[in-house]
Copies of this chain bind each other. A is one copy, B any other.
Amino acid sequence: MSKKIALLPGDGIGPEIVAEAVKVLDAVAQRFSREFVYETLPIGGNAIDDFQDPLPPHTVKGLKESDAILLGAVGGPKWDQNPSHLRPESGLLRMRKELGVFANLRPITAFEPLLHASTLKKEVLSGVDFLILRELTGGIYFGEKRRTATETGELATDTLVYSTQEIERIVRMAFDIARKRKKILHSVDKANVLESSRLWRETVNRIGKDYPDVKCEHILVDNCAMQLIRNPRQFDVVVTENMFGDILSDEAAMLTGSIGMLPSASLGASVGLYEPCHGSAPDIAGRGIANPLGTILSSAMLLRHSFGWEAEAAAIEEAVYEVLSKGVRSADLATPDEKTVSTSEMGDLVVQSI
């Protein structure tokens, strides 16, 4: 039975990197006798250009009818001055909400062959292997926004709201995942200041009672931003609200050698959404030098989480590891003395290793 994968190449380097992931998926299909049907749909800047909407209705429809979604990246300077509903990011946020993917999983895994390129010391990074779980459809991203005039200027307001239910479902997922790993969960909040964080913390404590085997610690967001650099190996699973997760997961990306390598999965609904953690990199778009590995590794997560195909996922991850171990580097990964390959050469090498 064939699986339907919706492709959202997006903007900037998006189309280039998604094309390489498709090559790799096709190689997996061949090796494991699977069949994929792809449907390419518009989102972001290109959708604004063609449909005056960063998330056209037919994209939403196509996504909901698919078995899983692979996204490149959206955005670019061309649309940065648009009113907010006509900006690529607003398509992304609406998509998350429409699909109901409330949990963003970001594995932070140190890639041994790349560690020398990090600004952190190798001995600090070696063995780093944790997962950040970011709440993705609530909080200040989706609260009411307001702008009002005052006598002396303006007043801008954002609202950070969380319900018990929204917190519960992501926290429960975090405990479930921690239980299958090292059974260490860090819940990040700012409970000494925010009311939403206090509800968050209470909810974590309540749900934690169902998971006595998992060691759960609360950590303040400012302290967490420090600890990620000071001693990243202390972490196994980290769960947090939307905005904190945005900041901390990008910071944590620096622990792995390169953000170009990092995949992500957005789950919690009937269809899962997979995308690299890096952005659309408009400055290098179309030059064939982007690193496709984040997207390729996202497609591995897709096979694992949406289809339950562990062997297929592992085959991709091992192929990527093998290619890196041989010293193959895209431009973003290379130190000045290392030779680099193009986007499509990198994809071809991963395919050969599968």
Contact = CB atoms under 8 A, between A and B. Distances in A.
Interface of A: 75, 84, 87, 89, 93, 119-121, 124, 140-141, 143, 145-147, 150, 152-165, 168, 190, 192-196, 198-200, 221-223, 225-226, 228-231, 243-244, 246-251, 253-254, 259
Given A119-B121, A119-B229, A253-B226, A156 B161 contact: yes
A222 B250 contact: yes
Nearest to A84: B198
A154 B164 contact: yes
A18 to B, nearest CB: 22
Contact of A243 (B156, B190, B226, B259): B190
Given A121-B120, A156-B162, A141 B193 contact: yes
A156 B196 contact: yes
Contacts of A254: 226, 229-230
A197 to B, nearest CB: 8
A160 B163 contact: no
Shortest 10 CB-CB contacts between residues of A and residues of B: A153-B164, A156-B199, A145-B195, A225-B251, A222-B250, A229-B254, A156-B196, A158-B160, A119-B124, A89-B192
Nearest to A245: B222
B155 A157 contact: no
A121 B257 CA distance: 13
Contacts of A124: 119
Given A195-B146, A250-B223, A140 B162 contact: no
Nearest to A248: B225
Contacts of A121: 119-121
A-side interface mostly: helix
A93 B143 CA distance: 25
A158 B194 contact: yes
Contacts of A150: 163-164
Contacts of A194: 140, 145, 158
A121 B154 CA distance: 44
A165 to B, nearest CB: 5
Contacts of A157: 143, 159-161, 195-196
12 contacts: A89-B193, A120-B120, A120-B121, A141-B193, A143-B157, A156-B162, A158-B194, A221-B246, A222-B247, A223-B250, A225-B250, A229-B229
Given A156-B161, A162-B156, A222-B250, A120 B229 contact: yes
Contacts of A84: 198
Nearest to A80: B192
Given A153-B164, A190-B243, A226-B254, 17 more contacts: A84-B198, A89-B193, A119-B120, A119-B229, A119-B230, A152-B164, A153-B163, A154-B199, A156-B196, A156-B198, A156-B199, A157-B196, A159-B159, A221-B247, A229-B229, A244-B247, A247-B247
A155 B145 contact: no
Nearest to A196: B156
A196 B158 contact: yes
Contacts of A195: 145-147, 156-158
A115 to B, nearest CB: 11
Contact of A226 (B159, B193, B223, B259): B259
Contacts of A87: 192
